[in-house]
Amino acid sequence: MRKAFFGALLTGLAFAGEPWDLEAPTGLKFGLIKGYENWHVVATHFRTDKNELRYIIGNDKAVEAYKKGMKKFPDGAILVKIGYSLKKNPAWEASLEPDVIQRVEFMVKDSKRFKDTGGWGFARFVYDAKTGKYKVFGKSAQDYMQCFSCHKLVEKKDYVFTDYVRRR
């Protein structure tokens, strides 16, 4: 029931027409997560400093690993973070709802290819509401070292901050 709800929500929100050919300097294309609007919600986060609502979603491999309580994610696991600005629900102002997509970013496990960054490859695509287009974040793979540096804080959790949210 809950899952069906989240699924419907994400399908409704996902921005249609993502430029799947855009490629991050880490060699990862946006298209790697094609169909992500149908993946599983791992958790939602709210960043008070950025006033941004975030959905963390995962593909089957990532979610299976979470459910098994595994410490390591297997190759092929992908976690996506989607950030939205917020607006008031016109019918109920105390209820804030996602407004404009800000950014889609993801991390994919490929332990051989990305051995220097904990086995994870990172990619970020920033949405510009003015032009209605996505832009690649960063100019070089070096620009992506900051992703790994910060995610190192949670090295013990295989560099993943988000825990799977309980559904009961």
> Site residues (CB under 6 A) for ligand HEC?
45, 47, 54, 56, 79-81, 105-107, 122-124, 137, 144, 146-147, 150-151, 160-162
Minimum Å distance from CB 132 to ligand HEC?
A: 22
Minimum Å distance from CB 95 to ligand HEC?
A: 21
User: Which of 1, 10 has the CB closer to ligand HEC?
Assistant: 10
Minimum Å distance from CB 140 to ligand HEC?
A: 12
DSSP states of the chain: -HHHHHHHHHHHHSPSS--TT-B-TTS-BGGGGTTGGGSEEEEEEEETTTTEEEEEEE-HHHHHHHHTT-SSPPTT-EEEEEEEEEEEETTEEEEEEEEEEEEEEEEEE-TTTTGGGTTEEEEEEEEETTTTEEEE--SSGGGGHHHHHHHGGGGGGTT--PPPPP--
User: Which of 48, 93 has the CB closer to ligand HEC?
Assistant: 48
User: Which of 30, 106 has the CB closer to ligand HEC?
Assistant: 106
Minimum Å distance from CB 159 to ligand HEC?
A: 7
User: Which of 129, 150 has the CB closer to ligand HEC?
Assistant: 150
